[in-house]
């Protein structure tokens, strides 16, 4: 009986390709991209948009609003604070156009983050989903993606980026993620945009209502988080 012919060892190019396309290599690339984007954002100091007071509203038409929405989306991927961007959208374009730009940027940024997390991080991160809380979150997003993401977006205490990457690691579909993000982000985004558009008139009813909504939702999120952390009967693991 003849011995089988041994297969040649894969070449250097094949081995390098396998390493570069491995789950952990892709996760490392995702971390590097996010760190680089965050560094650039910190150097640009987006808070300077509002440091000197509300800027004059722009009247460049739909193209200017669309350009701002595109920049908004890229900035959220780099972890720029959305409240600041929402205030800037209202100050620059007014309540209606500002809300359209902010919502478009929100959905765009969430979609980019979801895509990066799904393509570069899902395979590696799913191996880490072992804890009880992580398994519960993964199961909830995988089985009830739309309503779960809608609730996360409506709840102001959940960080925007954290929700994006949690959804990306789960088996949630792309369309329900985007639709739930757009619908769930409307109330909080609108409040900040209106506050930014009316910042020059801090005693106006619109500004007071918007600020009241922001304060109440923020306080509600803090209370719920505190109650969950200190609920009776919760046992801390040694």
Instruction: State pLDDT tens for residues 182-196.
Output: 999 999 999 999 999
H/E element holding 81? Answer: none
Instruction: State pLDDT tens for residues 197-237.
Output: 998 888 899 999 999 998 988 887 777 767 766 665 555 44
Number of separate helices (H) and strands (E) present in the chain? 12, 0
Instruction: State pLDDT tens for residues 77-104.
Output: 888 889 999 999 998 899 999 999 999 9
Least Cα distance to 31 among 125, 131, 111 occurs for 125
Q: Which two tokens stand for residue 73?
A: 């989306």
DSSP 118: I
pLDDT of residue 178: 95
Domain boundaries, the chain: 22-45+56-229
Q: How confident is the model at residue 112 (pLDDT cuts 50, 70, 90)?
A: very high
Cβ partners under 8 Å of residue 221, min gap 6:
155, 156, 157
Measured at the CA of 72, the angle between CA 66 and CA 76, to 5 degrees, comes to: 150
Instruction: State pLDDT tens for residues 151-170.
Output: 889 887 788 988 898 888 88
Is residue 172 predicted with pLDDT exceeding 80? yes
Instruction: State pLDDT tens for residues 128-148.
Output: 555 555 566 667 777 888 888
Q: Which two tokens stand for residue 186?
A: 């409307």
Instruction: State the CB neighbour count (10 A cutoff) for residue 48.
Output: 8
Least Cα distance to 141 among 186, 183, 177 occurs for 177
Q: Which two tokens stand for residue 2?
A: 């003849």
Q: Which residue has the higher pLDDT, 121 or 95?
A: 95
| Single pTM value for the model | 0.76
């Amino acid at each position: 009986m003849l011995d089988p012919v041994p297969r040649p060892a894969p070449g250097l190019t094949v081995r390098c390709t396998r390493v570069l396309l491995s789950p952990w290599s892709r996760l490392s690339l995702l971390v590097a991209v996010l760190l680089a984007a965050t560094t650039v954002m910190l150097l640009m100091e987006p808070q300077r948009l509002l440091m000197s007071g509300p800027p004059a509203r722009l009247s460049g038409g739909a193209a200017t609003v669309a350009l701002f929405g595109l920049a908004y989306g890229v900035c959220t991927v780099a972890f720029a604070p959305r409240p600041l961007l929402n205030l800037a959208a209202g100050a620059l374009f007014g309540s209606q156009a500002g809300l359209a730009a902010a919502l478009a940027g929100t959905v765009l940024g969430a979609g980019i983050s979801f895509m990066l997390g799904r393509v570069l991080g899902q395979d590696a991160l799913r191996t880490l989903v072992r804890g009880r809380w992580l398994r519960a979150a993964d199961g909830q997003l995988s089985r009830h993606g739309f309503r779960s993401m809608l609730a996360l977006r409506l709840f102001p205490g959940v960080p925007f980026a954290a929700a994006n990457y949690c959804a990306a690691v789960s088996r949630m579909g792309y369309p329900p993620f985007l639709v739930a993000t757009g619908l769930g982000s409307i109330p909080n985004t609108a409040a900040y945009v209106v506050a930014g558009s009316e910042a020059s008139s801090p005693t106006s009813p619109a500004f007071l209502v918007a600020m009241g909504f922001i304060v109440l939702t923020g306080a509600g999120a803090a209370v719920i988080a505190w109650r969950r952390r200190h609920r009776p009967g919760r046992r801390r693991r040694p």
